[in-house]
Amino acid sequence: MSIIKKLALVVVSLSLVAVSSVSSAKPFSPKKPVELIIPAGQGGGADEIARLVQGVIEKNDYASKPVIPINKSGGSGGEAMTYVKKKAGDEHTLIITLNNVLTTPVNQPELGIDFFNDFTPLARLITDTFLVWIATEGKNTAGVETFDDFIDLAKGNGLVMGGTGSMSEDELLLGMMRGQFGFDAKYVPYSGGGAVAKGLVGGESDFTLNNPSEQMGFYQSGDSKALVMMTPERNPAFPEVPSSYELGYPDLEYYMMRAFMAPAGIDAEVEKYYTGLLHTVYHDDEFQTFNIDDGKLMSWLEGFGLKDFLAIEYAKHGEIIKNFN
């Protein structure tokens, strides 16, 4: 980012501060460290973004108090969501989302989570996508070069797929693929995307549907390879991996949203503060570079746009779950 842009940003944020200080006598700022709840294990995609956000905030002093990431990986996000639900009105708690926040309330009605009323959506920063991964030296997938090879193989044989937990994104995707391509696989849940990636390269599973960053280390070393990326276009971070549209499977399109929410019942001032903080992070040079290099799509969304988006995604996931069962 050029200096002028940076300056402009400073001016904008200053004026934002000025405006908010006019509209209310005391603009909100955190009075103690802010808990950032991660509904997934350490080393996965959400964990990485959460820690990146923490780092960017700390390094540049964007907030008056530190942000502390806390992993609550139990129950496909159930533990984290229950925790945040109980924190209604708490001004020092945030949660980063995986798509499991859309599926867990439906799959686990006994938790009593109401997605639309128990949280205050703040902003979406990134959308992440999925790829079909196999190990370069996978013993059951030897000779598979393309996604079509893979489908043919998977149809005849019960392959093992490593995933991030019962009814999480990748298991739903497996359900989608089962409907579209007519193959099924044995689903083995691990704790977090990092462990899933290791399970593939270690030969325990035959394929995975990891996010780009989760396989990045193994991809760069040539231990794993991707067959298709579930987006309309290729991604510059994986130039040789075809998109699903290119291969003629436009229905195979799926995104993971990296958004942030606060508990329900917080003041508008507080909501504004955190949205502003996230916006600053979003425009940070380091944050941008890191995510683009990592194959992610930068996609800021807030306010009503975000609420609409969440409503549509929630409905879409409800549909996928219905077809899955």
Partner 1 sequence: METVGFLLDGIFTSLQWFNLALLIFGCLIGLFVGAMPGLGSVNGVAILIPITFIIPPTAAIIFLAAVYYGAMYGGAISSVMLGIPGASTAVATVFDGRPLAVKGEAMTALTAAAVGSFVGGTVSVILFTLFAPPLAEVALRFNAPETFALMVMAFATFVGLGGDDVPKTIFSILIGLALSTIGLDLITGKPRLIFFNIPGFLHGINFLVLAIGIYGIGEMLWTLEETKGKVQMSKLSVNMKEVGRAFGALKKTIMAMNIGSFLGFFVGILPAAGATPASLMSYGITKQLSKNSKEFGEGVPAGVVAPECANNSASTGSMLPMLTLGIPGSPTTAILLGGMILWGLTPGPLLFTQEPEFVWGLIGSLYIANFFTLVLNIALIPAFLMVLRIPFAILAPVIFVLCVTGGYAPTQSLHDVWLMLLFGFAGYILRKLDYPVAPAVLSIVLGPLAEKALRQSLILSDGSMGIFFDVSEKPIAAVIMYIAIVLLIMPAFGPLYRRLFKKKQTA
Q: Which residues in this chain contact partner 1 in the complex, by CB under 8 A?
A: 42-43, 47-48, 51-52, 54-55, 58-59, 66, 68-69, 71-72, 74-79, 82-83, 86, 104, 107-108, 110-111, 160, 165-167, 186-191, 194-195, 197-199, 201-204, 216-218, 220-221, 223
With beta carbons less than 8 A apart as the criterion, state whether 300 and 122 touch. no
Q: How far is the CB of 42 from partner 1 (least distance, A)?
A: 3
Q: How far is the CB of 78 from partner 1 (least distance, A)?
A: 5
Angle at 35 between CA 30 and CA 36, to 5 degrees: 115
Cα gap 166→287, rounded to integer Å: 31
Cα gap 251→226, rounded to integer Å: 18
Q: How far is the CB of 11 from partner 1 (least distance, A)?
A: 25
With beta carbons less than 8 A apart as the criterion, state whether 284 and 42 touch. no
**27 vs 77, which CB is nearer to partner 1?**
77
**255 vs 290, which CB is nearer to partner 1?**
290
The enclosing H or E element of 68 equals strand 67-71
Full DSSP string of 100-154: HHHHHHHH-GGG---TTTSEEEEEEEEEEE-EEEEETT-SSSTT--SHHHHHHHH
**218 vs 254, which CB is nearer to partner 1?**
218
Nearest in space to 259 (alpha carbons), one of 100, 148, 71: 100
**58 vs 233, which CB is nearer to partner 1?**
58
Place of tokens 């402009």: 8
Q: How far is the CB of 250 from partner 1 (least distance, A)?
A: 32
**147 vs 238, which CB is nearer to partner 1?**
238
Q: How far is the CB of 108 from partner 1 (least distance, A)?
A: 6
Cα gap 106→324, rounded to integer Å: 13
Q: How far is the CB of 191 from partner 1 (least distance, A)?
A: 7
**15 vs 221, which CB is nearer to partner 1?**
221
**197 vs 226, which CB is nearer to partner 1?**
197
Q: How far is the CB of 75 from partner 1 (least distance, A)?
A: 3
Contacts 24+ apart (CB under 8 A), 173-178: 173/130, 173/209, 173/230, 173/254, 174/209, 175/320, 175/323, 175/324, 176/251, 176/252, 176/254, 176/320, 177/252
Cα gap 4→209, rounded to integer Å: 41
The enclosing H or E element of 237 equals none
**52 vs 209, which CB is nearer to partner 1?**
52
Q: How far is the CB of 131 from partner 1 (least distance, A)?
A: 17
Cβ atoms < 10 Å from Cβ of 95: 29
Q: How far is the CB of 113 from partner 1 (least distance, A)?
A: 12
Cα gap 241→237, rounded to integer Å: 9
User: Tokens in use for 195?
Assistant: 């462990």
**76 vs 275, which CB is nearer to partner 1?**
76
